[in-house]
Amino acid sequence: MTPKISVIIPNYNHGQYLSQRIQSVLGQTEQNLEIIVLDDCSTDNSREVIARFAQQDARIRVILNEQNSGNTFAQWNKGLAQATGEYVWIAESDDFADPRLLETLSAALEQNPSVGLAYCDSWHVDESGRRVVVHTNTGTEFQVENWRHSFTAAGHAFIEEHLCNGNVIPNASAVLLRRNITEEVGPAETNFKLAGDWVYWIRVLARCDVAFIAKPLNFFRRHASNVRSRTKPVTVLLEGARMIKQLRRHVSLGPRFEEHRAQQIVRDCFHAVLYDNMRIAKVRKVLAVLREALPNYRSVCLKEMMHILLANRLSGLRQILGDGILYKVLRGKPKPALS
pLDDT digits (tens, 9 = 90+) for 263-288: 878 878 877 777 777 787 888 888 88
Q: Dihedral, CA atoms, 148, 166, 202, 236, nearest 10 degrees? A: -140
280-293 helix and 297-321 helix, angle to the nearest 10 degrees: 160
Residues pairing with 212 in the sheet: 119, 151
pTM of the model: 0.81
Average pLDDT, the chain: 84
Q: Within 10 A of 212 (CB to CB), how many other CB atoms are there? A: 23
Q: Within 10 A of 14 (CB to CB), how many other CB atoms are there? A: 24
Of residues 163 and 275, more confidently modeled: 163
Q: Is the pLDDT reported for residue 329 higher than 50?
A: no
Per-residue pLDDT, 135: 64
**Ranges 96-100, 169-173, 242-246: which has the least confidence:** 242-246
The mean pLDDT value for 291-305 works out to: 78
Q: State what percent of residues in the chain have pLDDT above 90.
A: 52
Q: State what percent of residues in the chain have pLDDT above 70.
A: 84
Residue 276 has what DSSP assignment? H
Domains and CATH numbers, the chain: 5-230 (3.90.550.10), 233-330 (no CATH)
Per-residue pLDDT, 139: 45
Burial of 1: CB neighbours in 10 Å, binned 0-12, 13-18, 19+: exposed
Is 80 within 8 Å of 172 (Cβ atoms)? no
